[in-house]
Amino acid sequence: MLMQFPMAHCDELIGSVIARFVQRQGLEDDKVALRQLFASQKIVPSSILQGHTNQLLANIGHLWTISPRELLEKHTLLPVFRPFVASEAYSHFVRDLCGKGKNHSMLRTGLNASNIVWPSNFKVCPLCCQQQLRRNGYRYWQRLFQCPGVEACPEHSCLLIDTGVPLQSHRRHRFVGTQGITQHIPAVSPLAARKTLLLSVGVSDLLRCKTTEAPNIHQWSRFYRDLARQQGLCRGTVVQHQEIAARVRAYWEVDWLERQGLSLGLVENWLVSMFRKHRRPFSYLQHFVCWFSLCDKEPVLGNVLAEASKFPKQPLEKATYFSARAGEVCHQYRALWNELLSHYGSLRDIRKQQEGARVYSWLYRFDSDWLASHKPKKLRSKRKPKIDWTRRDRTIVRELFAIERSVWHDLDGLRRSKNWYCKQAAGGKILEKKLSTLPLCQEFFVRYAETIDEYQARRLACIFARLVLDNKWLTPTYEIERIAGLDQRKCREAGRQILERVIPAWQVSSEIPFRIRPDKSGRNPVSKG
């Protein structure tokens, strides 16, 4: 049980708190720190979304009275997703980060596939750093400054400074702290522009937002359509996307948008999707860019969320189209469609072409019944046959037994762990991913997978047998320990018993008939009594 753990400051990243603990304890081995904090050596630190909070609090909960969810919402960047995703999805994020399994939060939150450019290095405010040094005698990482788009300190109105310290250390299991700052942090920094400062204030409010139920994607769809209508960016019911893009470029500038990964160079870009029917959640930075560009007043997060929540939660109704000339030109579009059908075999190929997309769009709007009966046949993907897991379990376990029989008499070799067997078997990938569906293979590993104690005992037996054959059975125990590559820290109880009791007892025994090495004929010479 840990006897001390540093107190977390307001808005401090949990990785920064742990890095301060590691530095105070003088722990140079990363895995020793993981074992003390998480009771596991396989945890991979994350500066943005640190997971395994249940394991962490199981070891430090007596020193830090905080719930796992409260820890995530106060000391990670998880709250930036809360107002823009469904409540079920957000609860799923929390369960992933609290659980003991692999941390898939970067995939589930969409960070890996997002076009938003996340900072690669930690950023600090020079004035905040001076305050931290005066109050505490050390610096720490503030989570607000590590958010995409945040380039100013809302408290001191100055620009942030890149420390050059990467968010993820080159050492896989290392927690990155402020002790890694090597460059000089200036005493002052230039003042930030007003829009940069307002964006930082908005993100700061977002991190502290206490909303319980966020607007769903249907409410966001209606909110942005209504916003375009209020700003006069609609012609009838059609949103003028080019005019919206011009307003956004005029407010934020092209260089800033490209630096954040929000380029508007393509015809079909993220901004067009924002003012269409929402089919997926968007990031907070995309929302803020639209609010600041188009709202008449400076947007306040709570007011915007309250306004979006007033719209109905039901999906948008399918739009109906009417054209007085539709009956006159209908036969022309049908002829064009039939010609396209003769050249392309699938709907996907037709819509890839500019002319095909135009004809399909017109028919979908004004002649949908005829189009439905004249579409190309759907491409049926070949369905894979249902897997018989019982049969596969038996096949793989037979292969594992064959591997075990081929090496059971061999004292030499690597440790025969579960991973070793998986690498030897042809179905190793299935074993790693689908072991829960293979009960016979699970029982095999329980019985035959070699533990570290068994492996050390086998290594010692192999080395001592080799020394006996070489007539070096009186080799000192410490020399056998050195040859086996064991020391006080790595040697388990079974190996320690062999080194301290079994081998010395064998060496002093006088009634061992196979001490005399056999001659070349293979027969043991008779020793004189």
Query: In the predicted model, is pLDDT for residue 275 greater than 70?
Result: yes
Q: What is the pLDDT of residues 344-353, one digit of tens each?
A: 888 888 988 8
Q: What is the pLDDT of residues 43-65, one digit of tens each?
A: 889 888 998 999 999 999 899 99
Query: In the predicted model, is pLDDT for residue 495 greater than 70?
Result: no
Q: What is the pLDDT of residues 354-409, one digit of tens each?
A: 899 999 999 998 888 899 998 888 766 666 678 888 898 899 899 999 988 888 77
Query: In the predicted model, is pLDDT for residue 523 greater than 70?
Result: no
Q: What average pLDDT does this structure show over 202-221?
A: 88
* Alpha-carbon gap, residue 526 to 375, rounded angstroms: 95
Q: What average pLDDT does this structure show over 325-332?
A: 88
In this structure, the chain runs to a length of: 529
* Cβ-contact 150, 256 below 8 angstroms: no
Per the structure block, which two tokens stand in for 33? 């720190």
Per the structure block, which two tokens stand in for 274? 């924002």
Query: In the predicted model, is pLDDT for residue 265 greater than 90?
Result: no
Query: In the predicted model, is pLDDT for residue 526 greater than 80?
Result: no
pLDDT at position 163: 93
* Alpha-carbon gap, residue 256 to 259, rounded angstroms: 5
Per the structure block, which two tokens stand in for 39? 């009771």
Q: How confident is the model at residue 473 (pLDDT cuts 50, 70, 90)?
A: low
Query: In the predicted model, is pLDDT for residue 460 greater than 60?
Result: yes
pLDDT at position 487: 64
Q: Of 406, 450, 451, 439, nearest to 425 (Cα)?
A: 406
Q: Of 102, 122, 109, 172, nearest to 13 (Cα)?
A: 122
pTM over 0.75, yes/no: no
65-69, 218-222, 330-334, 474-478: the lowest-pLDDT one: 474-478
**Is the pLDDT higher at 123 or at 518?**
123
Per the structure block, which two tokens stand in for 360? 């399909």
The dihedral through the CA atoms of 412, 413, 416, 421 has a sign that is negative
* Alpha-carbon gap, residue 335 to 345, rounded angstroms: 16
Q: What average pLDDT does this structure show over 168-189?
A: 89
Query: In the predicted model, is pLDDT for residue 515 greater than 60?
Result: no
Query: In the predicted model, is pLDDT for residue 466 greater than 90?
Result: no
Please give the mean pLDDT across all residues of the chain.
85
Per the structure block, which two tokens stand in for 54? 């249940």
Query: In the predicted model, is pLDDT for residue 150 greater than 90?
Result: yes
Provide the phi-psi class of 137: left if phi over 0, else alpha when psi is between -120 and 50, else beta: left
Q: Go through 138-172 and write b for each residue having 16 or more CB atoms within 10 A of its CB, e for each that does not.
A: ebbbbbbbbbbbbbbbbebbbbbbebebebebeee
pLDDT at position 376: 86
pLDDT at position 328: 87
* Cβ-contact 181, 188 below 8 angstroms: no
